[in-house]
Amino acid sequence: MWPQKCPIVKFMKAITVSDVETNFSDVLIRVRNGERFKVSYDNFEEPVAMIIPIEENNLSRKIGILDGKASFAVHGDGKVSGDEFLGL
């Protein structure tokens, strides 16, 4: 399933594999200039790939709101009873 929630995907142009094969140099020039493409086998299929500028591939994002602020450790076999889980 294509990651529709990804903010990058919203602003991509759709292109087929055939178009990429026929116009590969032009596609790369456009990507170098900042354009983004989602690639599918034909116009009716789900995209199978993205072509984005290499700088965008290194986007950093926080994993969660507690990233770097919290941690956890698993002791023993990792099994927890219901009472232990509830702090009873």
**How far is Cα 57 from Cα 2, in angstroms, rounded to an integer?**
16
Maximum CA pair distance of the chain? 66
pLDDT, tens only, 37-86: 999 988 767 888 999 888 765 556 566 777 777 777 777 787 878 888 78
Q: How confident is the model at residue 1 (pLDDT cuts 50, 70, 90)?
A: very low
In order of their start, the domains of the chain are 7-86 (3.40.1620.10)
> Does residue 3 carry a pLDDT above 90?
no
Question: What would the mean pLDDT of 21-31 be, rounded to a whole number?
Answer: 93
**How far is Cα 7 from Cα 36, in angstroms, rounded to an integer?**
12
Q: pTM of the entire structure? A: 0.52
Higher pLDDT, 46 or 10: 46
